[in-house]
Amino acid sequence: MLREANVMQQLDNPYIVRMIGICEAENLMLVMELAELGPLNKFLQKNKNTSVKNITELVHQVSMGMKYLEEHNFVHRDLAARNVLLVTQHYAKISDFGLSKAVAEEQNYYKAKGHGKWPVKWYAPECINYFKFSSKSDVWSFGVLMWEAFSYGQKPYKGMKGNDVMQLIESGKRMEPPVNCPTEMYDLMTTCWIYKVDERPGFAVVEPRLREYYYDIAQ
């Protein structure tokens, strides 16, 4: 928990949940700013009338927060719709930095010591195969988060076990687009799911693509 607090103390971005302080009572507590509407996936499950424009706006905000983390050499390692909290219906913030790591400048990835209880369905192949985590593996998770958002909070790879998911990905297959998902957004998801790390874009590329699409539909 102190490690999470240490990570959060160093972050200052409008799209990342702010840490207000640490409370050392009988139990250690992190005091965070309140994001009243709760997790993105739960919100969308309850609010099926949310427009594609609104979803795109929220997903774009997450990409801005992630671009900030990428620029500051932070790897989130647990990016998923459940860890995006809504302040309002038009304002999303990234939370849950329990697994986050600051990555040394000369090394752009973090190597885990082995499997913990990992959210495999959100993890890039290199995380599972080589325990390597980088901003590019966060991009893969972001693709899954986009899929969750445009499917109104459905579970990714529904009914599949971790091993089945890994086999599916290794065979070159990917999740089908959610119903009524804009083609541009599904194209971006599949770009986030490029197998080879070197060919997968970073958030510096993903964020402007989302921004352009959002501005297009917002007009």
- Report the catalytic residues: 78
Specify the 3-state DSSP secondary structure of 147.
helix
Q: Which amino acid is at 209?
A: R
Asked whether the beta carbons of 49 and 110 are under 8 A apart, the reply is no
b/e 49-76 (16+ beta carbons within 10 angstroms → b): ebeeeebbbbbbbbbbbbbbbbeebbbb
Beta bridge partners of 21: 31
Instruction: Tell me how long the chain is.
Output: 219
Specify the 3-state DSSP secondary structure of 190.
helix
Specify the 3-state DSSP secondary structure of 197.
helix
- Provide the angle, in degrees to the nearest 10, between the axes of the packed helices 52-71 and 135-150: 170
